[in-house]
Amino acid sequence: MKKNTQAKFKGGKEGYCNICGQYSQLTRDHIPPQGCVKPTSVELRTLTHYLSQLGEKPVNSQSGLNILSICGTCNNSLLGTEYDPELIAVTEQVARIVRVQKELGLSLPEKIDLIVKPQRLLRSVVGHILAGKLPIPGEPPMPAPFPDALRNYFLDQSSNISDRFEVYYWVYPSNKQIVINLLSIGSAMGEGSISSSCLLKFFPLAFWMVWDKPDSFSIDLTKISQDKFKGLDETCEIVLDLRNRPSFNYPEIPGEGRYIMCRNDSTFLVQPKKPKGFG
């Protein structure tokens, strides 16, 4: 039987919110937010669809990746008002640098410092990752330690990110967008494995949150250390490495000796029909 790997991104108008779990009218979340990337005509695939190269047709969307998945309060009062402005401000700043580097061919310093409000920045990332999945009709989000930690962190402004998370980020100069709710990575080389992680990549940044990373599993990326997460509006400096970055497909195509496991319905790859500037 032919396996259907096509992306399903249309669901019910009412349902359980992916973030707070309340049953209500569902609202459409743009992933990433419209202030970061202008929604255009795109092709949607799941990661399985993308990797299998079965020649199955992608699903088209006229307005980027947008999913009816969260309630109005989580979408507008929290995500859009409280958290997205910080993600938009940070990505604008990085996009300017990356564009200048490409268009003018200027050589930039190897590293730059960015001032961010990590609590707001990360909650925006977490909110859009949680929204990046169709709710299961008639069922509230299934309780499990990893998604619960993401949801609780998003919803409780006074909380801190669980110290079981490592938060990695890097420059991602690609127009292809990826959101993965749950990504596991195994290794055949005795490094241990990552049971749970989640990923959001869009021009010009990628964020990867890894849960319970074994020390033996090496990830050669910069991270926002736990001690930088303080009050909601406290700022910190994070270093952005402009030269050393992983391959475009990292970590969803994890390289030799490692393999991934993910659920087909919680991964989206989004490719503009007419990419501009960056492939």
Report the interface residues with Zn ion, using CB under 5 A: 17, 19-20, 71, 74
Do residues 84 and 194 touch, judged by C-beta distance below 8 A?
Answer: no
User: Residue 76 or 264: which CB sits closer to Zn ion?
Assistant: 76
Q: How far is the CB of 26 from Zn ion (least distance, A)?
A: 9
CB of 180 to Zn ion, least distance (A): 21
Residue among 44 and 198 whose Cβ is closer to Zn ion: 198
Encoded amino acid at 177, one letter: Q
Residue environment code for 251-276, b if the CB has 16+ CB neighbours within 10 A, otherwise e: bbebeeebebebeeebbbbbbbeeee
Report how far residue 104's alpha carbon sits from residue 36's, in angstroms, rounded to the nearest whole number: 22
Compute the least distance from the CB of residue 74 to Zn ion, in Å.
Answer: 3
Min dist CB 75 to Zn ion, Å, is 7
**Which CB sits closer to Zn ion, 17 or 126?**
17
Closest contact distance (angstroms) between CB of 27 and Zn ion is: 9
Of the two residues 71 and 200, which places its CB atom closer to Zn ion in the complex?
71
Closer residue to Zn ion, CB minimum distance, 131 or 260: 131
Residues 6+ apart with CB under 8 A from 98: 171, 173, 203, 204, 242
Q: How far apart are CA 269 and CA 6, in angstroms?
A: 11
Q: How far apart are CA 167 and CA 208, in angstroms?
A: 6
